[in-house]
Structure 1
Amino acid sequence: MIEIKKMSVSKIKEKLHDTADPEFIRALEDDTRKGVQVALRSYYKRIAEEKVLAKQFATMNTYEDNLKHNGFKAIAGIDEVGRGPLAGPVIAASVILPYDFYLPGLTDSKKLSKDKREQFASIIKKTAEAVGIGVATAKEIDHYNIYEATKIAMQRAIIDMKKEADYLLLDAMTLPVTTEQMSLIKGDSKSVSIAAASVVAKVERDQYMTRLAGTLPEYGFDKHMGYGTKDHLTALRTAGITKEHRKSFAPVKDLM
């Protein structure tokens, strides 16, 4: 029998942080100390949340599992970030995850906090079989249009990988390449591979815009990442248009 009464509440919390055995949990349920019951409720909440995330991850792995069952071994998820901003590049990422990859909570980068995105991006880069980054500049966006520039960035991301993919999963895009592919609407919420690419691309672009803010501080790129906020539009009117601005986008074009 576990002597729960001899354990401090802090020690119980510490033990609950690890995987607790059923006998220990049953003993805690009989402990009348308020601190113990609060800790136990927190434990149950965490376990419930972990189960939800595990189920979500399994669901988002469905496409990958089916493709692996059909013999594909190097499935690349591809996504981009930066179609809507008035400034900066569109950046794409291509990611091939290992067979046993598991990262519960991974989803569309827009649904994650900045800290969580950066944490996940680091894990993905360390564990992925291959990661590629592709960039299409503001000048290329103006020349080709944003849709075509996005495809260019995605193809560059694929080429940038050190391993060749035998299947592509893309977020609402189709590329002019010979590799077999599937386009998924809202793919970053349906496929772990696309979600991984969305996270890597988002962190990569945010870092780019933050560096840009260091050389062009008057525009506040580190705060709005190039989107058409009120402060950004004010800066455009007072400080002018830079080479990082998309001159084919109406708010910028109207100021030329």
Structure 2
Amino acid sequence: MPDLSLEKAHQSRGIKRVAGIDEAGRGPLAGPVAAAAVILPKKFKCPGLDDSKKISPARREVLYARITDDPSIFWAVATADCDEIDRLNILRATHLAMRRAAEALDPVPEHCIIDGLPVKNFPIPHDGVVKGDGLSLSIAAASIIAKVTRDRIMHALDQEFPQYGFAKHQGYGTKAHLEALRIHGPCRHHRRSFQPVAQLTLPFGWT
């Protein structure tokens, strides 16, 4: 289970505000990519907090409320939309969302620990931590916020475009989603640069 060892290692060197950062939504064919940044208090404890991918949707909602309702926790969440993903590519758009989240924190962190590899030109000193959402409580908390935020966005898009089933698959390339794309073509929330969308023979009927 994740703990605060990485955060404490930085704090022992006098770095007080350490933020964990994670993202959700790099792989789907539709919708934004979301990123969250979280600064936890030194003695934070939250049984069951882990990488969002290991936790059920219902449990993620409970943990989201626990984190975001705590006044001792500083957090921010940001997105990069499908137009930015298509223009920049998914990696750079993900980094953009991470930067937006980190810069939206108040107070601004002195150091960030980011799930995955280091981010080129990131505006705040940071470390990349591979599989960090399973090691750091700050990153795990960020993974919960990013995932719940994005899932809520996809549920809202499902109300606008119910024919695609966004609420069920969150935009991932499931069999049902690919079939809906074949029948209806893509909508404006689809990522045109992603191959299953780009290779469709149907014209792009943006609605």
Q: Indicate the TM-score class for this superposition, using the shorter chain for normalisation.
A: over 0.9
Matched, 1:155 2:99: yes
Matched, 1:74 2:27: no
> Does structure 1 conserve the Cα–Cα contact (< 8 Å) formed by 2:24 and 2:143?
yes
| Residue aligning to 1:225 | 170
Per the alignment, do residues 178 and 154 of structure 1 end up closer, same or farther by CA in structure 2, a change over 3 Å counting? closer
Name which one, 1 or 2, has greater alpha-carbon Rg: 1
Shifted more, 203-212 versus 118-127: the winner is 118-127
Aligned-residue offset at 1:183: 0.5
Per the alignment, do residues 210 and 178 of structure 1 end up closer, same or farther by CA in structure 2, a change over 3 Å counting? closer
Map 1:123-142; keep pairs closer than 5 Å.
123-127=66-70, 128-142=72-86
Superposition RMSD on alpha carbons, in Å? 1.2
Matched, 1:169 2:80: no
Which one-letter code corresponds to 2:39 in the other structure?
A: I
Which one-letter code corresponds to 1:130 in the other structure?
A: F
Deviation >4 Å, runs of 4+: none
Q: Give structure 1 stretches of 5+ with no counterpart.
A: 1-55
> Does structure 1 conserve the Cα–Cα contact (< 8 Å) formed by 2:67 and 2:73?
no
Task: State the aligned residue count.
Answer: 199
Map 1:37-56; keep pairs closer than 5 Å.
56=1
Separation of aligned partners in 2, 1:97 and 1:125: 11
Which one-letter code corresponds to 2:151 in the other structure?
A: D
| Residue aligning to 1:237 | 182
Separation of aligned partners in 2, 1:121 and 1:72: 26
Q: Give structure 2 stretches of 5+ with no counterpart.
A: none
Map 1:1-256; keep pairs closer than 5 Å.
56-57=1-2, 60-127=3-70, 128-175=72-119, 176-255=121-200, 256=203
Which one-letter code corresponds to 1:81 in the other structure?
A: A
Separation of aligned partners in 2, 1:206 and 1:224: 9
Separation of aligned partners in 2, 1:130 and 1:196: 11
Which one-letter code corresponds to 2:122 in the other structure?
A: V
Aligned-residue offset at 1:95: 0.6
Separation of aligned partners in 1, 2:63 and 2:116: 23
> Does structure 2 conserve the Cα–Cα contact (< 8 Å) formed by 1:129 and 1:163?
no
3-state SS of paired residue (2:20): strand
Separation of aligned partners in 1, 2:124 and 2:85: 25
Which one-letter code corresponds to 1:92 in the other structure?
A: A
3-state SS of paired residue (1:86): coil
Which one-letter code corresponds to 1:148 in the other structure?
A: R
3-state SS of paired residue (1:85): coil
Separation of aligned partners in 2, 1:73 and 1:65: 9
Given the two structures, how large is their TM-score scaled by the length of structure 2? 0.93
1:36-55 Cα deviation digits (max 9, x unpaired): xxxxxxxxxxxxxxxxxxxx
Separation of aligned partners in 2, 1:178 and 1:143: 21
Identity of aligned residues (%): 45
Which structure carries more relative contact order (alpha carbon 8 Å, separation 6+)? Answer: 2
1:49-78 Cα deviation digits (max 9, x unpaired): xxxxxxx35xx2211121111111111000
Separation of aligned partners in 2, 1:100 and 1:126: 17
